[in-house]
Amino acid sequence: MSVQAVVDKLKARFGDTVLETVEFRGETTVMVKKEEIVAVCTFLKGDLGFNFLTDLCGVDYMGQAPRFMMVYQLYNIGNHTRLRIKAPVEEADTTIDTVSDVWATANWMERECWDLMGITFNNHPDLRRILLPEEWEGHPLRKDYPVQGPDREPYQGRLQ
Amino acid sequence: MANLETMTINMGPQHPSTHGVLQLVLELDGEIVRKATPHIGFLHRGVEKLAEHRTYHQILPLTDRLDYLAPMHNNLGYVLAVEKLLGITDDIPERAQVIRVLLAELTRLKSHLVWLACHALDIGAMTVFIYAFREREHIMDIYEKVSGARMTTNYFRVGGLSADLPDGLEKEIRDFVNSMPGHIATYEGLLTGNKIWQKRIQNVGIISGEDAIDLGVTGPSLRGSGVDWDLRRDQPYSGYENYDFEVIVEDGCDTWARYVARLKEMHESCKIIHQALDKLKPGPVLADAPQIVLPSKQDTVNTIEGLIHHFKIISEGFKPDVGEVYVGVENPKGEVGFYLVSDGSPRPYRMKIRPASFINLQALPKMCEGSMIADVVAVIGTPDIVLGEIDR
C-alpha cells in the first residue's frame, strides 16, 4: 500500500480529525487532532501495518498557537514505508494521551518527552524524568529555557 | 513456604560490566530477578539543545560523541539528513558515497569488535578481549590516517567528505580486511565451542520477535529474534543498493543468537568493504555546491578566495528550505535517525536524535526479569549499548 493510499484511508476513517497533509522531500506528514491520537495510532498499527514506532518527540513553536507539536515517526516493517503523524498541543493544556498501549516502546520516549519538553501524557504507566535528575526544575528543550542554564548570564563573547 | 520478601540491590553506575554509567536497580527474590529498573542520564549533555544554537556544519562534531564506538555512522546519519533537507542527496559524488560506505562498514567491524571483547570479558572469557582489541587498534590506525583522530573522527561533511583518502590507504584496508576472516575464526575458536560460553549465553536473555518490535528494538538485537529487517537493504542510502550482501537473521531469540548474528555480520561487512574498494574510482569527494560545502583545506590556507569562502560558510552557514525530514541509518547497534526541523534559518529549529541504544536498553528488563542474577551481566552485554548515545 502506498503512502497516499494510507492517507486516503485515514481521511476516510477519521474525516475532520485529519487537519492537514504535507509532502516534503518525499516524506508524508499527517496532522491530526490530539484527542484522537490513540485511535489514529491504533488504526495505523492494526489495520495499516505501521507496527513499528521509530521515534516520537515534541517541538516547541514558541510564539505560535498552538505552541507545541507532538511528532510520531512510524515505520511499516511489512512494506518498508514511513509516515509521520503530528498532533498540535495547546500551551494552556500541555497534555496528550499516551500511545504506550499501542507500542510499548513509547514508554521511554514519552518519559523523555515529558522530561525535556514538558508534555504530560495521560494514562502513562510510569511518567518520571528519565535523563535529568528527579529534582530538576523546568524542561530544557523548551525555547524559553536558556541554553546556558537558568542560573547563568548568557555568554556575551570575549570582547566587550 | 515461599518467602514473599524481596531484596533490592544496586548495580552501577560504577560497575565494570555496565558499559559506561548505567545504573540498574534489581529486585531479587533469592537469586531470581523479579524487576530490573535502569536509571540513565548520568552523561546527559543536551546535544539536541546545543544543536539549536549551532549552524548545520557546527553540529557535526557533536554527533561523533553520541555513539563514540561508531562515530562515522552518526556522522553519516546526520549528513544524510541535512543533505535530504537541502535536496542535494543525488548530487553527492560517487567517490564520496563509496568512501562513506567503506568507512561505515569498517566502523561496524570496529563496533562489533568492542562489543565482542567486552561481552566476553563480562562473562569471564578474558582472552578474546586482547585479540579483538588488537584488530580494533588497527582500525583506529586507519581512522587516524583518514581523519587525524582515533575516536571522534568528524570526517564526513554535508555534501561529501572533509578530505580524500590518503595515498596507499586502500591497500592497507584491503590487507586488513583480508586478514579479518582469520581473526574472526580465532574468536570463534575461543568462544563458540567453549562449553562455559555456551552455558552462559544459550537460552539467556530471551525476547521474541513480536516483543522486540513492540519495544522498538533494532539492529542485530532484532535480527537475533528472527525479524528480517535491515535499513541498508530495505531503505538503502549512500548507494547500499549497489552492494551484494546478506542480511543475517537468527531465530534463537537469545543471547547466543545475537552473538552468532553479529559474528556473521562482521563477515558481511568484510564483503561490502571489498566491493567498495573495487568500486573506488578517482574523482571529487565534495559536491559542486559552493553555497553549502566548505572549500578544501588547501584552498582555505593558500588562496584569499578560499579563505573568504570558508569564512562565509562558517560564520553564516547555509539556509535550507522550511520543512522537516527524518533519515534513519543502520548503525552497528540499530537504527540511528535524525529528525531535523528547519525554519529557513542557518540553524535547525529542532533536531531530534533517534538513539538506537536508548531504545534497545528499554528491552533489557524484559530480557532479564525472571532469570538468575548472574545472567544479568550476560544480558547487559547483548543489546550492545553505549551510554554516550543513550544519555546524549
CA of A54 to nearest chain B CA: how many angstroms apart?
Answer: 7
Residues in chain B: 392
Inter-chain CB proximity A131 and B229 less than 8 Å: no
Largest CA distance in chain B: 85
* Domain annotation for chain B: domains and CATH numbers: 46-391 (1.10.645.10)
Q: Does A141 touch chain B (CB under 8 A)?
A: yes
Q: Does B16 touch chain A (CB under 8 A)?
A: no
User: Which residue numbers in chain B have pLDDT < 50?
Assistant: 1
Q: What is the mean pLDDT of chain A?
A: 88
As given in the structure block, the three cell numbers for residue B82 are 541535512
Contact (CB, 8 A) for A51 and A76: yes
Per-residue pLDDT, B20:
73
Inter-chain CB proximity A24 and B324 less than 8 Å: yes
Residue of A57, A69, A134 to mutate when probing chain B, most B C-beta within 10 A: A57
Residue B160, classed as helix, strand or coil, is strand
Inter-chain CB proximity B325 and A25 less than 8 Å: yes
CA of A80 to nearest chain B CA: how many angstroms apart?
Answer: 6
Residue A78 lies in a domain: yes
CA of B368 to nearest chain A CA: how many angstroms apart?
Answer: 17
Per-residue pLDDT, B17:
65
Q: Does B157 touch chain A (CB under 8 A)?
A: no
Identify which of B73, B100, B128 has the alpha carbon closest to the alpha carbon of residue B328. Answer: B73
Q: Does A147 touch chain B (CB under 8 A)?
A: yes
Inter-chain CB proximity B215 and A104 less than 8 Å: yes
Q: Does A157 touch chain B (CB under 8 A)?
A: no
Domain total for chain A? 1
User: What CATH number is attached to the domain comprising A58?
Assistant: 3.30.460.80
Per-residue pLDDT, B10:
85
* Count of pairs with CB atoms under 8 A, one residue in A, one in B: 88
Residue A149 lies in a domain: no
Closest partner CB to A25 (pick from B41, B87, B328): B87
Domain of residue A63 covers 3-122
Residue A43 lies in a domain: yes
Strands B334-342 and B350-354: antiparallel
**Is the confidence at residue A116, as pLDDT, over 80?**
yes
Contacts of A108 in chain B (CB under 8 A): 358-359, 362
Largest CA distance in chain A: 62
- What are the φ and ψ backbone dihedral angles of A29, each rounded to 5 degrees? -120, 130
Contacts of B215 in chain A (CB under 8 A): 104-105
Residue A96 lies in a domain: yes
Q: Does A99 touch chain B (CB under 8 A)?
A: no
Q: pTM of this prediction?
A: 0.89
CA of A36 to nearest chain B CA: how many angstroms apart?
Answer: 21
Distance in angstroms (rounded) separating the CA atoms of residues B116 and B95: 31
Per-residue pLDDT, B1:
47
Residue A34 lies in a domain: yes
Inter-chain CB proximity A54 and B335 less than 8 Å: yes
Inter-chain CB proximity A82 and B326 less than 8 Å: yes
Contacts of B391 in chain A (CB under 8 A): 131
Distance in angstroms (rounded) separating the CA atoms of residues B290 and B313: 9
Strands B160-161 and B156-157: antiparallel
B341, closest residue in chain A (CA to CA)? A59
Inter-chain CB proximity B354 and A107 less than 8 Å: no
CA of B109 to nearest chain A CA: how many angstroms apart?
Answer: 25
Residue B212, classed as helix, strand or coil, is helix
Q: Give how far Cα A126 sits from Cα of A36, A69, A109, Å.
A: 22, 22, 12
B positions 242-301 inside 8 Å of A (CB): none
Crossing angle (nearest 10°) for helices B169-191 and B126-147: 170
